[in-house]
Amino acid sequence: MGKGKTLFWLIPALLIIILIPPVTGSVTTREGVFLILMYVTLAVSLNIILGYTGYVSFGHIVFYGIGGYVAFYLMKFHGIHLIPAMIMGGIGAAIAAFALGEAVLRLRGAFFAIATIGVNEAVKALVNNLNFIGGAEGLFFNFRIYNTYGGATKAIWFSYYTMAALTITTVIAAYLIKKSKFGLGLMAIREDEDAAIILGVNAKRYKSLAYAASALFPGMVGAVFFFKAGNIEPHDAFHLIKSIEMIFMVMLGGYGSVTGAVTGALVYERLKGFLLVNPLFKNLHMAISGVILLLIVLFMPQGIVGFIREKSKKLREMLE
């Protein structure tokens, strides 16, 4: 167990990526990097429950949607600033996860995965029918809201920096969790839940807390994303495909490793970008991603970073 060796290079590397758009002033690059940061945060968060604890949360996007709705509602109807609204959104998602966790985390393996899909679809159906938050049509911002931030252009830059700060925070938090007592308990649950319990790990509580932690940051991501978009609707907020993308990123990079989740997010963003602009593949990108996921699970279940960690003892501490 290295002492923070991973963060010493990972955080500067992320900062360099974050600084590219403001330095070049390119709006296109900013949009690309915003997407990367969003993916990184989602993948690193999902990794806490999927990679550390070994529970495949298939409908994880539900927390992004919940956080998005909570924050959007507060900003639109109560004029609350993005930052507190985002924090409230994150906390809302985390509380929802904790409560759900007490129920669905009793299930193991595929049953848990299916239950989480059900939760996502149920919440989507519920939101579709709640008129005070716009029902199926969703909610729109009045553009005056952006005046608080100095106009729409500045508001978008503001959301960019907020996302950047959120990403860095998430990566550091995920790393600290992994290195803590709590993280070791989670990994023990992943390896053998019965053995973990007999060794004194309060598995039920640990799992619920891990689920809450892995929902907190996606909730905040949802808040920032929908603030920037200016509208939110159930179909966007609880889009199951995004859930699958998150799992893909974690598995591609290497589950259980912070560096792995970050790598998976970066590679996926590039891959998706390539496939979407290529006329030959643009309608097939999910199919191709699916085939790649299958190949990873069959031949390299530890993912890219996990593979390198296995091969090189020297790099292991750098790639936690």
Name the site residues for other proteins (rule: CB under 8 A). Answer: 179-181, 184-185, 187-188, 190-192, 194-203, 256
Q: Which is nearer to other proteins, 198 or 277 (CB)?
A: 198
Q: Would you tell me the crossing angle of helices 240-253 and 258-277 to the nearest 10 degrees?
A: 120
Task: For residue 189, give every residue at least 6 positions away whose Cβ sits within 8 Å of its Cβ, in sequence order, or none.
Answer: 53, 54, 196, 201, 203, 206, 207
Question: To the nearest whole angstrom, how small is the minimum distance from the Cβ of residue 53 to other proteins?
Answer: 13
Cβ closest to other proteins, residue 195 vs residue 241 = 195
CB 195 within 8 A of CB 73: no
The residue (of 51 and 92) whose beta carbon lies closer to other proteins is: 51
Neighbouring-strand partners of residue 158:
none
Question: Residue 189 CB, nearest distance to other proteins (Å)?
Answer: 9
Specify the DSSP element, H or E, that contains 232: strand 231-232
49 DSSP assignment: I
Nearer CB in complex with other proteins: 3/144: 3
Half-sphere exposure for 253 (CA within 13 Å, toward CB): 31
What's the rounded Cα separation, in Å, for the pair 236 and 61?
Answer: 10
Q: How far is the CB of 261 from other proteins (least distance, A)?
A: 17
Give the nearer residue to other proteins in terms of CB position, either 203 or 286: 203
Neighbours of 195 (CB within 10 A): 11
85 or 189: CB nearest other proteins: 189
The stretches of the chain forming alpha helices (DSSP H) are 5-24, 27-47, 61-78, 82-104, 110-128, 152-179, 181-191, 193-198, 203-229, 234-237, 240-253, 258-277, 285-299, 303-311, 313-316
Nearer to other proteins, 137 or 191 (CB): 191
| Minimum distance of other proteins from residue 200's CB (angstroms) | 4
The torsion angles phi and psi of 220, rounded to 5 degrees, stand at -70, -35
Q: Min. distance of Cβ 247 from other proteins in angstroms?
A: 19
Q: How far is the CB of 316 from other proteins (least distance, A)?
A: 10
Shortest separation between residue 54's beta carbon and other proteins, angstroms: 10
